[in-house]
Structure 1
Amino acid sequence: MLSRTADDVFWASRYIERAENLARLLEVADRMALMPAETDNTREWHSVLIAGGVEPLYLENHKQVTEDEALAFIALGPENPSSIYNCLKSARENARAQRHTITRELWEAINETWFTVRDMSFDTMEKKGRVEFIDWVKQRSHLVRGAIAGTMIRDDLYNFLRLGTFIERADSTARILDVKYHLILPEGAPVGGAADYYQWTALLQSVSAHVNYRRLFGEAVVPNRVAELLILRPEMPRSIRSCYDEIMRNLDMLSQDYGRRLPSQRIAGKLQSELKYGTVDEIFGYGLHEFLTRVVDRNIEVGAQIQRDFLLDSAPPEESQSQSQAMA
């Protein structure tokens, strides 16, 4: 496969997944902002800007963080290269370049999504309802993944589409989990208190994991169990472990196709082993925020190495940002 083709489909799937993940970050903030608080509830929206790695850019254009401005910036901001609006635009541009290689169903799913959001204003979104907008973004992402699963031949093109999805999802799960643990717990609120319980529950709901948590653990929502579910459990579709199982599966298939062992396999395999054999007690002993920071850093490294191994060796500008800028 030409590196240009691989690059286009890899980034198309990454941008679609990123749009969904940004919607989930917004959902976390929106749910948690509903909690009564003695302090300013804009902390929740500030935390999303930090977790999304766009706080410096936001502050260049805004004097302070407000709920409406943060929501508009992340959802529809044309000046924000990582907004949902720009992610869907970039996904469409990458898919359009490969209309001759992807199926009609996949192209139409991506193209129709962009045309719906292209002329949407913040007022239009608020009139329809922000929850409805968030759900719509997630549903369109599901539709795109369904078109990939249901219509694409299982060849190297399919492998690159899947790699883009799971590289992006691993990053998102780490960031969403870090929003709660590092930034959102109200000052002076006890761990295990009512606010803490509500926030962990809201986080689980935002990643479609609340029912799965109940099925697996059947107990009250507690931080260690939430972290175990979203980091280490292979049966949880959005867990970091599950993402890296999929990343390794697709890299192994590409390695067989290309007839050589790949540096990206080695880097991804090391992280997969840590997730496979690690324990939640070890993670909390190390520090959950520090662990998640390291995961995001190494995930960026894996994505960059995949770029060097197969694709055009130049990632979009926002990919070069350091982890310390994004989550510290």
Structure 2
Amino acid sequence: MLSRTASELYWMARYLERAENTARILDVTNKLSLMPIRDNHHIDLQVPLSMNGTQQLFEANYPQLSMTNLLDFFALSNLNHSSIFSCLQMAWNNAHAVRGSLSSEVWESINASWIEMKLIRRKGVGSVGADAFFDWVKERSHLFRGAMFGTLLRSDALYFIRLGTLIERADSTARLLGVKDRLLDDDHDPVREYYRMETLLRAVSAREAYHSLYKQQFTREGIAELLILRDELPRSLLACLSDMMEQLELIGGSSGNQARLRVHALYAELRFSTLEDVLQPGLGNWLSQFLEKLNDIAASIHRSYLEAQ
């Protein structure tokens, strides 16, 4: 496969996954914003800005921090390259460039999502309601994945799409866990602590999985173990790395040896780590180191497969 085609497919998948992750984060932020107001109620609204490093851009364009302004900034703004609108636009551009590598069902799912997104932007999220909008974004992402798994050949096109999805998913899970952990450290209100832990699990569709595996009330240690070390959860860091290894092996080629080496090394580190190993340096520090290693993997994938040779 041409490196340009591989790059378009890889980034198409990353943008689609990013749009879904943004919708999930906005959904839980919106739910937390509805809790009774306390002196520090704004810290929950900081979560999307902290995850994406968009604090300065937001402050330059919006007079105050509110859920209404956050929704506009992260859902509809074309100034924010991490907004759902921007992500779907870039995903559509990438998909259009490699339409011949996609099945008609996959292309139609992306094209329909982009057409509907432009209509929603013209009318405003209020025309459908915030909750319905978040559900729509997640449903469109699920439809894309269903069409992808059900219709694409088991070939490099599928493998690069999966690789992009997994890199983005692992990055989002680690960032969300890190931000939420800092919030729990800074606020000792037991009621807010419970709802923050619950909304964190909801953000990664893991609430039911937690109860199934642990059969106990939420604990910060249990949530950290679930999202990092349990490969039963599709969005855990270990599960993402396991699937990345599989996709890189399927792509093959000696040019990808460095990328495979990095993924195997990080997978082995997680596979044979205990929760104590993760918590010993501090969860925030451990997650920062993980994100650095994940960025090294993404850079290695880019050099190995996505740059013109």
TM-score tier after normalising by the smaller chain length: over 0.9
The structural deviation recorded for 1:188 is: 4.2
Could you give the per-residue CA deviations for residues 83-124 of structure 1, whole angstroms, max 9, x where no partner exists? 110000000000001111110000000010011011323863
In the alignment, what sits opposite 1:205?
A: 202
Q: Distance in 2 between matches of 1:170 and 1:163?
A: 11
RMSD: 1.7
Could you give the per-residue CA deviations for residues 188-224 of structure 1, whole angstroms, max 9, x where no partner exists? 43xxx23212210121112111111111010111010
Q: Distance in 1 between matches of 2:49 and 2:60?
A: 13
User: Normalised by the size of structure 2, how large is the TM-score?
Assistant: 0.95
1:284 to 279, 286, 290: 279
Return 25-34 or 108-117, whichever deviates more.
25-34
Return 303-312 or 288-297, whichever deviates more.
288-297
Unaligned runs of at least 5 residues, structure 2: none
Q: SS state of the match for residue 286, structure 1?
A: coil
Is 1:247 aligned with 2:227? no
In the alignment, what sits opposite 1:218?
A: 215
In the alignment, what sits opposite 2:29?
A: 29
The structural deviation recorded for 1:61 is: 2.0
Q: Distance in 2 between matches of 1:3 and 1:206?
A: 34
User: Normalised by the size of structure 1, how large is the TM-score?
Assistant: 0.89
Contact in 1 for aligned 2:120/2:127 (Cα 8 Å): no
The structural deviation recorded for 1:70 is: 1.5
Letter in 1 for 2:32: M
The structural deviation recorded for 1:242 is: 0.4
Letter in 2 for 1:49: L
Contact in 1 for aligned 2:256/2:304 (Cα 8 Å): no
In the alignment, what sits opposite 2:170?
A: 170
Q: Distance in 1 between matches of 2:197 and 2:123?
A: 30
Unaligned runs of at least 5 residues, structure 1: 314-328
Q: State the percentage of identical aligned residues.
A: 38
Contact in 2 for aligned 1:185/1:196 (Cα 8 Å): no
Letter in 2 for 1:150: G
Contact in 2 for aligned 1:180/1:199 (Cα 8 Å): yes
The structural deviation recorded for 1:150 is: 0.5
In the alignment, what sits opposite 2:301?
A: 306
Q: Distance in 2 between matches of 1:312 and 1:119?
A: 35
Letter in 2 for 1:207: V
Q: Distance in 2 between matches of 1:180 and 1:32?
A: 12
In the alignment, what sits opposite 1:79?
A: 79
Q: Distance in 2 between matches of 1:253 and 1:42?
A: 46
The structural deviation recorded for 1:186 is: 5.6
2:291 to 293, 296, 300: 296
The structural deviation recorded for 1:259 is: 4.6
Paired residues for 1:29-48 under 5 Å: 29-48=29-48
- Mark the CA change 1:160 to 1:50 in structure 2 (over 3 Å): closer, same or farther: same
Q: SS state of the match for residue 235, structure 1?
A: coil
In the alignment, what sits opposite 1:196?
A: 193
Q: Distance in 1 between matches of 2:3 and 2:44?
A: 40
The structural deviation recorded for 1:67 is: 1.8
The structural deviation recorded for 1:184 is: 5.5
Q: SS state of the match for residue 146, structure 1?
A: helix
Q: Distance in 1 between matches of 2:192 and 2:187?
A: 11
Q: Distance in 1 between matches of 2:63 and 2:284?
A: 28
